[in-house]
C-alpha cells in the first residue's frame, strides 16, 4: 500500500513539474535580465508571480489577483538605464489604470511598487519621474488567460486573470 502512495506522489510531482515548466510561457528580455509572468489558473488561489532572472539573482514577486490585468515591457530611462515596466490594474470604473511598477534590470530589485487598486492610487507620475520621461500607453490588443502572454505591438506581454473576479 505504501508503494502505491509513493508512485502516486511521484506521478503528481512529475505532472506538476511538467505543467509548471510548460506554463512559464513567453520570455521578455530587458538587457541581461529575463522576465516571465506566471498566471495562476487555480480557482481557489488566483495570483500572478513576476519572475525576474537578473545577472545577480532570481527574484519572484507575487501579486494577488485583486487586479486582473498585468502588462509588462522593457523601458529605457532618459539616462539609458534599463527597467522592466509593468502595469497591474483592474478594469472597473473606479479602478487604478496606472498601477505602475518598475524593476531595475541590472539588479532585479523593485524600484517602484504599485500602490492600491483604486483610481486615486495611480502612480504614473512617480514612474515617469524615475524614468525621466512620460510613460507611453501599453498597446495590448489581446490578453492571455494563461502564462503564455499575448504579445503586444511593442514587445509587450499582456495578461488577464482566467478567474472571474467579483
pLDDT digits (tens, 9 = 90+) for 42-77: 777 778 899 999 999 999 998 887 788 889 999 999
Tell me how far apart the alpha carbons of residues 115 and 121 are, in angstroms, rounded to a whole number. Answer: 6
Q: pLDDT tens digits, residue range 19-35?
A: 222 234 588 999 999 99
Spatial separation of the C-alpha atoms in residues 88 and 116, rounded to whole Å: 10
Whether 3 is in a domain gets the answer no
Q: How many domains does the chain have?
A: 1
Residue 18 resides in a domain: no
Within 10 angstroms of residue 87's Cβ, the number of other Cβ atoms is 25
Range of the domain at 138: 24-160
In a domain, 19, yes or no: no
Q: What proportions of the chain, in percent to the nearest 5, are helix, strand and coil?
A: 20, 35, 45
At residue 92 the predicted structure's pLDDT band, cuts being 50, 70 and 90, is confident
Query: What's the pTM value of the predicted model, to 2 decimals?
Result: 0.78
In a domain, 128, yes or no: yes
Q: Residue 59: inside a domain, yes or no?
A: yes
| 72 lies in some domain | yes
Q: Which DSSP letter does residue 136 get?
A: P
Q: Residue 60 falls within a domain, yes or no?
A: yes
* In-domain check, residue 83: yes
* Cα–Cα distance, 138 to 86 (Å, whole number): 9
Amino acid at each position: 500500500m505504501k508503494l502505491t502512495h509513493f508512485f502516486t506522489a511521484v506521478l503528481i510531482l512529475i505532472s506538476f513539474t511538467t505543467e509548471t515548466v510548460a506554463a512559464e510561457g513567453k520570455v521578455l528580455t530587458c538587457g541581461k535580465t529575463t522576465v516571465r509572468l506566471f498566471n495562476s489558473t487555480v480557482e481557489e488561489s488566483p495570483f500572478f508571480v513576476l519572475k525576474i532572472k537578473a545577472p545577480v539573482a532570481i527574484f519572484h514577486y507575487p501579486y494577488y489577483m485583486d487586479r486582473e490585468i498585468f502588462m509588462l515591457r522593457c523601458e529605457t530611462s532618459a539616462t539609458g538605464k534599463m527597467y522592466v515596466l509593468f502595469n497591474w490594474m483592474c478594469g472597473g470604473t473606479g479602478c487604478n489604470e496606472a498601477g505602475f511598477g518598475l524593476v531595475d534590470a541590472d539588479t532585479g530589485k523593485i524600484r517602484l511598487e504599485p500602490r492600491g487598486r483604486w483610481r486615486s492610487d495611480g502612480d504614473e507620475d512617480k514612474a515617469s519621474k524615475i524614468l525621466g520621461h512620460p510613460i507611453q500607453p501599453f498597446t495590448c490588443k489581446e490578453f492571455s488567460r494563461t502564462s503564455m502572454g499575448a504579445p503586444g505591438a511593442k514587445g509587450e506581454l499582456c495578461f488577464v486573470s482566467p478567474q472571474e473576479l467579483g
